[in-house]
A and B are shown apart, each in its own frame.
Chain A
Amino acid sequence: MHIVVCLKQVPESQNVRIDPKTNTLIRQGVASVLNPFDYFALEAALTIKDERLDTKVTAITMGPPQAKEVLMDALSRGADDAILISHRAFAGADTWATSFTLAAAIRRLEPVDLIVCGKQAIDGDTAQVGPELATILNRPYATYVKSFEFVDDSHLKITRQTDEGVAVWRLPLPALVTVLKDVGEPRPRSYRATLRARRYEIPVWGPEELGVDEDSVGLKGSYTQVVRIFSPERKKDRIMLRGSVEEMVDELYYWLKEQRVPGL
């Protein structure tokens, strides 16, 4: 079984600031880390490898040369191989161009039975790349997966979180899943894997290796562009309700009425 895990390097969220003049993220001096949700994607893949010994896990990421660090991290936790997708032409990609590029890389890695992504990245928060990638590769996918098990060699039984509750699906492989933290606690680095990772030369793939046209990737291949990013204005108006539940409900009712909320 061959599993590809898609990882993303993101700015450490606690330190992200937005430049009020340019409305862009200030990335200088901010440490980059592996997107927290991607740890669970990796863990999901490694859990399968624990149980099915013939499993190979390949970690891929698209990003600048320093994104190699997240691949080193994945190798140190037990991924077998890693590929860095990096080239100037890939810069400025939106989710579509990112998915398109990742799809080209995965085609080169075929046969791939399962692709695992985190549920979303904490910088863009779009949760689009997983489903887009599956769509481009023409594979079934399930998002927000909490748990999974193999029905047989070519089917997964997955449980996914929905707004209403949980849904249990049977997913034919090859497929793609995006996972939640419920799939398992991310494991630590292992001694042997880290030693191996330190001696592992991570291949770097550009447009040429992927066989894609430079105009179809990065900013040029993007359908969307970020016009403006801003922090929402903090509104300080608030009212505090006190007293018993009945008193608070009364007070809220009259307040809403004063605000001329329709229906009251």
Chain B
Amino acid sequence: MDYFLTEEQRLLQEIAYEVTREWIRPVRAQLDEAEEFPTRLLKILAKTDLFGVCVPEEYGGLGGGVFENCLVVEQLARGCVGVATSFAASGLGAYPILLFGSEELKKKYLPDIASGKRLAAFALTEPGAGSDVSAIRTRAVKSGDEYIITGTKQWITNGGEADVYSVFAITDPTKGPRGASCFVVEKGDPGFSFGKKEVKLGIRASATRELIFDECRIPRDRLIGREGMGFIIAMKTFDKSRPGIGALGVGLAQEALDIAAEYARKRVQFGKSIISFQAIQHKLADMATKVEAARALVYSVARYLDAEPKDASKYAAMSKIFASDVAVEVALEAVQILGGYGYMRDYPVEKLLRDAKILQIYEGTNEIQRNIIGQELNKEYGKKKETIL
């Protein structure tokens, strides 16, 4: 379907897809098998300018928004969600600086993140704080001109590989969620080290690692925003990033559909290509319908969010849930259409299925997304006047 993109938006898609076609697809199975971080591919991506897609032009980026980011990551996800996640996580790590950082922090970090010279990461999750963000224990204590950070972060995408980390820590334990703050920590800061790298079901090219802060000292001006803003920073970041997870789902589902449809046209059973059987046609029809519906929702939400609305969280959550669920459903059907071949590592669809599952889990589980939508609906209907929409 034509989404009436501008010339610039089309070009973003084209360039991202070229990287998928020429560089990512040929090596995705190998990266998955070896659990190898795609350093070379990220260097290639750095040369396309795409790392700067949603960084303002004054900081060396392309000045796009949530929508442009979605267009790019969708195309990369057609290649490999492991690679696309490593790419997107750098944007996620940059968002706190971009949205709430001081002019000095923006000038210091954004140009290098936009050029792909330095990779960023977002560090919120802890062993005891997943969906319950308010349970984070990592502490940051002010000492003269420094903050001293102590604690452990878990399952951090790009952990160990990134150079710049947006790290959430409690500055005032008496204030609950309002006692959290966000800091920029650099690889190499004293007291900052990396723990074990996780072995995962899918997105195995991406690096997921523990971050250890053992009295890590950072200059005071690395605080993003003000003390106590950590929770707001995290939520506003997710409002911007969640449609991107939806877009990863759309790209993955598109790839699964493409592979399944091509296979069904070539695979002959009972003397006919299997696409001539209604059972297969109906599966493909449902898959194609879901992909298009997911894309339409993600694009609409992304465009809406770029207008800075007040009810961003609800729609961001919707786009994330719907498209990630579609990704799992469509990948599962693709495996079914390829049958025995689909289950084997010789074909790419089993990887798509393994990769799809994380989309329902990371950046807020789909259950948490439904909570956000539900709470928002409760509020809206509590004060609802009759409206057209």
Contact = CB atoms under 8 A, between A and B. Distances in A.
A190 B44 contact: no
A189 B8 contact: no
Interface in A130-156: none
Interface stretch (A14-22, A191-199, A216-224, A247-255): A191-199
B365 interface: no
A108 interface: no
B140 interface: no
Contact of A188 (B11, B12, B19, B62): B19
B8 A188 contact: no
B380 interface: no
Contacts of A192: 49, 62
A63 B22 CA distance: 27
Which one of A189, A191, A195 has the greatest number of beta carbons of chain B within 10 Å? Answer: A191
B18 interface: yes
Interface in B1-48: 7-8, 11-12, 15, 18-19, 22-23, 44, 47-48
A188 B43 CA distance: 10
B15 A191 contact: yes
Pairs of residues from A and B, 8 with the lowest C-beta to C-beta distance, nearest first: A191-B49, A187-B47, A190-B49, A188-B48, A192-B49, A190-B48, A191-B15, A189-B15
A144 B50 CA distance: 34
Contacts, number: 32
B50 A191 contact: yes
A187 B49 contact: no
A249 B18 CA distance: 50
Contacts of B19: 188
Contacts of B15: 188-191, 194
Contacts of A198: 7
Contacts of A190: 15, 47-49
A198 B11 CA distance: 11
Contacts of A194: 11, 15
B96 to A, nearest CB: 24
A187 B15 CA distance: 12
Interface in A185-216: 185, 187-192, 194-195, 198
Given A188-B48, A190-B15, A195-B11, 7 more contacts: A185-B44, A187-B44, A188-B19, A189-B15, A189-B48, A192-B62, A194-B11
A187 B50 CA distance: 13
Nearest to A189: B15
Nearest to B50: A191
A191 B8 CA distance: 9
A187 B22 CA distance: 11
A217 to B, nearest CB: 36
Contact of A191 (B22, B23, B44, B48): B48
A62 to B, nearest CB: 27
A194 to B, nearest CB: 6
Interface of A: 185, 187-192, 194-195, 198
B40 to A, nearest CB: 8
A190 B8 CA distance: 12
A185 B19 CA distance: 13
A188 B12 CA distance: 13
Contacts of B44: 185, 187-188
Contact of B62 (A185, A187, A189, A191): A191
22 contacts: A185-B44, A187-B44, A188-B15, A188-B18, A188-B19, A188-B23, A188-B48, A189-B15, A189-B18, A189-B48, A190-B48, A190-B49, A191-B12, A191-B15, A191-B48, A191-B49, A191-B50, A192-B49, A192-B62, A194-B15, A195-B11, A198-B7
Contacts of B23: 188
Which one of B12, B18, B48, B62 has the greatest number of beta carbons of chain A within 10 Å? Answer: B48
A195 B57 CA distance: 15
Contacts of B8: 195
A192 B49 CA distance: 7
B134 to A, nearest CB: 40
Contacts of A189: 15, 18, 48
Contacts of B11: 191, 194-195
Contacts of B18: 188-189
A190 B12 CA distance: 9
A45 to B, nearest CB: 14
B126 to A, nearest CB: 37
B15 to A, nearest CB: 6
Contacts of A195: 8, 11
Contacts of A185: 44
A195 B50 CA distance: 13
A187 B18 CA distance: 11
Nearest to B12: A191
Contacts of B12: 191
A198 B8 CA distance: 11
A191 B6 CA distance: 14
B256 to A, nearest CB: 25
Contacts of B49: 190-192
Contacts of A191: 11-12, 15, 48-50, 62
A12 to B, nearest CB: 16
Interface string B44-86: 1001111000000000001000000000000000000000000
Nearest to B64: A191
A56 B48 CA distance: 19
Nearest to B52: A191
Contacts of B50: 191
Interface in B164-220: none
Nearest to B53: A191
Nearest to B19: A188
A191 B7 CA distance: 11
B19 to A, nearest CB: 6
A198 B19 CA distance: 20
Contacts of B48: 188-191
A198 B15 CA distance: 14
Contacts of B47: 187-188, 190
